[in-house]
Structure 1
Amino acid sequence: MQYIRSLFFNIAMYVWMGVIGLIYAPWAILSPAGARAACDIYARHTLWMLRVFVGLKTEVRGTPPVGAALLAAKHQSFLDIIVIWASIPRGFFVMKSVLRYAPVLGQYALRLGCIPVHRGKRTEAIKLMLTEIRSGKRKDGQLMIYPQGTRVAPGAVRPYKVGTFAMYEILGQPCYPVATNVGLFWPKRGLLRKQGVGVVEFLDPIPAGLDRSTFMTALEERIETASNRLMEEAGFPVTLHPEIIGDPVAKAVRDVARPKT
């Protein structure tokens, strides 16, 4: 039965995306405010459908920032994007450049001021964004990034990329770590959406001005510790893995910062 409910929800979610996209398109073309209004109503109604059709509730903990800030979040599924978006007043995302070509989603993301970046060119994109803010071409807000670079399944290990520090250093703003357990209920892949309570938690900000090693260590420890706690609350046994895969720079930073035993 849960598979049927999940199937119905998934169909409704994407149909709703298309409907909202068409209805708000004229306003979105004329003004970014139209694109933001469309995304706001889409997020609220999608969370409502998720609760009614599937039995999956969502909860936001902590205090989301309302001023200019960098948010660095654990990314487990599309659901954490929706919940974070619905929790902050003026959010925009760093996104993979290829996503600009996604139907509806890509065009609206560009109108919202999301930043499409090519691999290895994130710093240039952030500098351009700052130039636009200072010139008045772009309004400031809450810039969202996923420091692991992709969705990571609960219990999986993936390094934190030092590109997050580059953004933190350039922006000169506090960074709000964001933890979650939503991947337990809305997985990275697959149709099934499970009943329960998916939580997104905004943690205390990391102040601006820290060096790379201190910042990266604090960011990873705060996000991983809080996400593991949220997953354990939901009944998922968290197993810590010592190995680091992927980015050798991130591995070096963590190895240096890791306490010696």
Structure 2
Amino acid sequence: MRQAIGSFLFNVGFYLLSAVMAVAGLPVLALPARANAAYARMWIRATLALLRATCRLTHQVRGLENLPAGPCIVASKHQSTWETLAFNLVFHDSAFVLKRDLFYIPIVGWMMWRAGNIGIDRAAGPSALRSILRDARRAMDSGRPIIIFPEGTRTAIGADAPYQPGVAALYTQLKVPVVPVALNSGLFWGRRVFIKKAGRIDVLVLPPIAPGMARAAFMKTLHDRIEAATGQLAARQMTKE
């Protein structure tokens, strides 16, 4: 019952907070990309504080020492809305690869676009990959890491969805390290699940995959590392419960 009440309070608070900050942030849209990104981080910090207060849900990130000093691609497991928010704080000044449709959301979507995130039009075929590469190069030229969710959508705990070709295109064309990331956020903030469970989301940043691998070998290595580490995080949490 406590988590149901807390989840209700979080949802109400989240939508009120988002509405207020969206309207208050309208003038920010006229400012440069970094100002939009900084404003979004303020909103995310407030959202995560609300999540802690109402649902008693926190997080821990391990392995940040594995991030290269230079340009890189962060390729993460995707189980929850949580990482689309928190990763803006975990991986500073990053550019997300996300569905272009999100840019059409009034104010919030416009701010995503103005912040320099990378939109993908899944219906565009090969031209979509060309667009991603162009925008990713622009982000990297300004010193920003790229964050991509290789599965392309949120997956349930235990699900093993195919990894999409976008991450391979970025890896082979940009010739920078890819950093795999595992997490267990779906155990606490599930896909299409109203109640958010109390506890601690664990994020594990794994050693980078160096550039230069053949495409098929890279995809297998990335998949195997992420899925193995994600399975271990899930099993460890389930054992605690």
Q: Give the structure-2-normalised TM-score.
A: 0.90
2:131 maps to amino acid: A
List per-residue Cα deviations over 1:197-253 (Å, max 9, x = no partner): 11121111111111112111110011001111111111179xxxxxxxxxxxxxxxx
Deviations 1:142-186 (A, max 9, x none): 111111110001012211123211111111110011111000100
Structure 2: distance between partners of 1:215 and 1:89: 25
The superposition leaves residues 98-134 of structure 1 with CA deviations (integer Å, 9 ceiling, x where unpaired) of 1111233311110111111112233211332256469
CA RMSD for the aligned pairs? 1.9
For the residue of structure 1 that corresponds to 2:119, the secondary structure is strand
Cα distance between partner residues in 2 of 1:131 and 1:220: 24
Report if aligned partners of 1:74, 1:179 keep a CA contact under 8 Å in 2: yes
- Note if contact 2:78-2:155 (Cα within 8 Å) is conserved in structure 1: yes
Q: For 1:213 and 1:126, how far apart are their aligned partners in 2?
A: 20
Distance in 1, matches of 2:138 and 2:150, equals: 24
Amino acid at match of 1:190: V
In the superposition, relative to structure 1, how do residues 106 and 153 fare at CA in structure 2: closer, same or farther (>3 Å)? same
Q: Which amino acid letter does the alignment assign opposite residue 205 of structure 1? A: P
Q: Secondary structure at the match of 2:153?
A: coil
Displaced runs of 4 or more, over 3 A: 64-67, 130-134
Q: Percent identity?
A: 34
Superposed, which structure 2 residues align to 1:1-261 within 5 Å?
1=1, 2-63=3-64, 65=67, 67-119=70-122, 120=125, 121-129=127-135, 132=138, 139-235=142-238
After superposing the two structures, state which structure 1 stretch, 184-193 or 38-47, moved more: 38-47
Q: Report the secondary structure of 2:203's partner residue.
A: strand
Q: What is the CA–CA distance in structure 2 between the aligned matches of 1:168 and 1:45, rounded to whole Å?
A: 34
Partner Cα separation in structure 2 for residue 233 and residue 60 of structure 1: 15
Q: Whose RCO is larger (CA < 8 A, sep 6+)? A: 2
For this pair of structures, how many residues does the alignment match?
Answer: 234
**Structure 1 CA distance for aligned equivalents of residues 78 and 32 of structure 2:** 29
Q: Answer yes or no: is the 8 Å Cα contact 2:118–2:136 preserved in 1.
A: no
Q: SS state of the match for residue 235, structure 1?
A: helix
Q: Which secondary structure does the structure 2 equivalent of 1:160 belong to?
A: coil
